[in-house]
Amino acid sequence: MPDMPARAPISVLIPVKNEAANLTACLASVAFCDEIVVVDSGSTDGTRAIATQAGAQVVDFKWNGEFPKKKNWALANVPWKHEWVFIIDADERATPELERALRAVAAGPATAHAGYYVNRRFWFLDGWLNHCGYYPSWNLRLFRHRLGRYEKTAAIAGTGSGDNEVHEHVELQGSAGYLPGEMEHYAFPDIATWVEKHNRYSNWEARLQLEAAGGTGAHASLDAGLARKRLLRRLAWRLPFRPTLRFLYHYVWRAGFLDGYRGYVFCRLMAYYEFLSAAKAAELRRTGHRPPA
């Protein structure tokens, strides 16, 4: 019987709250890592038991409603066993190809990079999105834990976006590379889940629009490509007919039509998200930037 490969000298951070339906598969996909830390926000659905049974360390997190959120808090307060930390959400899975890439970084010679981007593939309506501007989708997920922190945005309180960083990006002290392999993302098991999440996300984006109008720019330490995308996004907020333009961007310019029916539905939903963001930003302007009591 061949020897089992040694576990990779990588620490894994999994932020959770009531993720019993997703966590088992996520934990299995990163079982090759030597340390797995599940940071839990008071789950009541058996999430903690699943993590413990799988051999993961469970750390409690109680959010103060401001800063830091869950991932930043864990990066700063967990006594990480290894230098490299891989961040994965409970509804994501590391593929075998990605495992090989992660092992190579952790076990290989010293690298000049402080972190690495990982490509995500989104599952939607019983299939993968291969276009729509959602593939490839690069996220900075593996980095030396002392050299990366998620950006602090002003739009935190009153957005309903929760205690975990969702849209915030990592500010990295050093250069970043790109890993082969992919991470599978099962964020939207059905349309109702998509709508519920993006209703919350649109609160966050509406406040960002108000900040941009007040002159708040992108952080200088963000990746140049991301900073450019944010600049274009701020410019797009000034355009008329934004929901229609958002649909055309994803469906025509980013070839969402090649994803067939699921691409059409997804692009229509992105137009709906744009409408919600614009309408909520207008509502906040009318109410003096104050969320309803």
pLDDT attached to residue 220: 52
pLDDT attached to residue 1: 39
b (16+ CB within 10 A) / e for 23-44: bbebbebbebbebbbbbbbebe
Angle between helices 260-286 and 191-213 (to 10 degrees): 40
Instruction: Note the pLDDT tens digit of each residue in 35-54.
Output: 999 999 999 999 999 999 99
Structure tokens at 136: 């490839």
Residue among 204, 228, 205, 207 nearest 218 (CA): 228
Task: Report the C-alpha gap between 220 and 199 in whole angstroms.
Answer: 29
pLDDT attached to residue 227: 61
Above 70 in pLDDT, residue 231?
no
pLDDT attached to residue 240: 79
Q: Which of 138-147, 160-169, 213-222, 236-245 has the highest mean pLDDT?
A: 138-147
- Tokens 């406040």: give the residue: 207
pLDDT attached to residue 223: 62
pLDDT band at 219 (very low <50, low <70, confident <90, very high): low
Q: What are the boundaries of each domain within the chain? A: 8-188, 192-286
pLDDT band at 229 (very low <50, low <70, confident <90, very high): low
Structure tokens at 115: 């972190």
pLDDT attached to residue 110: 75
Above 70 in pLDDT, residue 291?
no
Question: If you average pLDDT over residues 122-130, what whole number do you get?
Answer: 96
Q: Is 214 helix (H, G, I), strand (E, B) or coil?
A: coil
Residue among 10, 36, 252, 31 nearest 108 (CA): 10
Structure tokens at 171: 């500010």
Instruction: Note the pLDDT tens digit of each residue in 111-122.
Output: 789 999 999 999
Burial of residue 202, with CB atoms counted within 10 A of its CB: 0-12 exposed, 13-18 middle, 19 or more buried: buried
pLDDT attached to residue 289: 65
Above 50 in pLDDT, residue 293?
no
pLDDT band at 210 (very low <50, low <70, confident <90, very high): confident
Task: Report the C-alpha gap between 136 and 96 in whole angstroms.
Answer: 18
More confident call, 74 vs 291? 74
Question: If you average pLDDT over residues 255-276, what whole number do you get?
Answer: 97
> Which superfamily does 8-188 belong to?
Spore Coat Polysaccharide Biosynthesis Protein SpsA; Chain A (3.90.550.10)
How many other β-carbons are positioned within 10 Å of the β-carbon of residue 235?
10
Question: If you average pLDDT over residues 202-208, what whole number do you get?
Answer: 86
Looking at every residue in the chain, the average pLDDT score rounds to 88
Q: Is 8 helix (H, G, I), strand (E, B) or coil?
A: strand
Question: If you average pLDDT over residues 156-164, what whole number do you get?
Answer: 62
Least confident of 71-75, 93-97, 167-171: 167-171
Burial of residue 257, with CB atoms counted within 10 A of its CB: 0-12 exposed, 13-18 middle, 19 or more buried: middle
Instruction: Note the pLDDT tens digit of each residue in 93-117.
Output: 999 999 999 999 998 877 789 999 9
The model's pTM: 0.88
